[in-house]
Amino acid sequence: MLHGETQENFIRRISREIGFSFCGFSKAEFLEEEAPRLEHWLNMNMHGSMAYMANHFDKRLDPRLLVPGAKSVISLLYNYFPEKEIAGGDPENPLRISKYAYGEDYHYVVKDKLKQLSSRMTEHLGSIEGRAFVDSAPVMDKAWAKNSGLGWIGKNSNLINKGHGSFFFIAELIVDLELTPDGPVKDYCGTCTACIDACPTEAIVEPYVVDGSKCISYFTIELREAIPDAYHQKLDDWIFGCDVCQDVCPWNRFSTVHNEPRFSPRNFILELKEKEWLEMEADLFSDLTKRSPLSRAGLEGMRRNVNSAAKRT
């Protein structure tokens, strides 16, 4: 029973109660604008060794192939902006880790929130067929968030919300529920090139196009081989991910601190220095990084990253 409240307003309200910052809706249909962009990006090999990016091309562009009978995509943003700057800056420990990776892995946290949202929707709206996604399937989450009016895709290829910046995880519920689409919002990047100018590896090859194979996040997380020598001095002390293009974005002056306890920094990540990373045993790494984003790089990957960052001069 919604007591006069529309389905859309109900879903928005309970999503906020659960912890999502923003919620929007778009029609589940083929992403015509994205198709040629994705094809060009792949043809230019900007996905590097991320072979999975070339898989399921049609499914990436049409959610109805992922969820038969889908009518709507519910896009949601979950804030992860920390209370204080925690990456680098300390001469004693200059190593930098992306803001999102200091606490529990967002896949677990946001997936739990999606389950709560789905459960409450079913309780009040009746049986709903659908699937939840958190950066773990061939879903073009930024495109759907843009189409749902949650922000625009900036020149650094991140989704930017005019009032709150870009430090958000994006998630979706693709459902067989008919919902009124919100439609996209205006692009407010204007003539600004801060992100392009600041990228240490010049990965933003033109406005709105990021060569993933040159990105520090790619080198420190996705790449399984040695980091090319030419990039060692460009890592800027980053050993897992990179926030440079977001940190310099003027819209992130409006970022607000998250209130998710599970994203609180784990002490070991704040305290470990180069030598300790390099000398760590596999069992200890496994224990320390359980349900942490850092586990994705693996111990050998983290050692490689630290060694590469150490070649800063």
pTM: 0.95
Average pLDDT over every residue of 41-54: 89
- At 139-192, the pLDDT tens digits run 999 999 999 999 999 999 999 999 999 999 999 999 999 999 999 999 999 999
Return the pLDDT at 21.
Answer: 98
Alpha helices for 19-160 (secondary structure H): 34-43, 57-61, 106-125, 141-147
Average pLDDT over every residue of 208-224: 96
Lowest mean pLDDT among 23-27, 48-52, 127-131, 186-190: 48-52
pLDDT at 2 over 80: no
Give the pairing type, strands 238-240 and 96-97: parallel
CA dihedral for 128, 107, 246, 18, sign (positive or negative):
positive
Return the pLDDT at 49.
Answer: 86
Return the pLDDT at 136.
Answer: 79
Task: Report the C-alpha gap between 115 and 247 in whole angstroms.
Answer: 31
Return the pLDDT at 204.
Answer: 98
Q: Which residues contact 313 (CB under 8 A, 6 or more apart)?
A: 233
Rounded to 10 degrees, the C-alpha dihedral 162/168/169/170 comes to: -10
Return the pLDDT at 89.
Answer: 60
- At 264-313, the pLDDT tens digits run 999 888 888 999 999 999 999 999 999 999 999 999 999 999 999 877 64
How large a percentage of the chain has pLDDT more than 70?
97
* Two tokens, residue 65: 């192939």
Given pLDDT bands bounded at 50, 70 and 90, which one contains residue 1? low
pLDDT at 241 over 90: yes
Task: Report the C-alpha gap between 157 and 151 in whole angstroms.
Answer: 12
Integer CA distances (angstroms), 84 to 1, 255, 264, 280, in order: 42, 12, 11, 27
**What residues are labeled active site?**
135
Return the pLDDT at 312.
Answer: 60
Judged on CB neighbours under 10 Å (0-12, 13-18, 19+), 85 is: exposed
Q: Which residues contact 84 (CB under 8 A, 6 or more apart)?
A: none
Rounded to 10 degrees, the C-alpha dihedral 300/168/216/224 comes to: 30
pLDDT at 228 over 80: yes
Under 8 Å between Cβ of 189 and 146: no
How large a percentage of the chain has pLDDT more than 90?
86
Average pLDDT of the chain is 94
Given pLDDT bands bounded at 50, 70 and 90, which one contains residue 52? confident
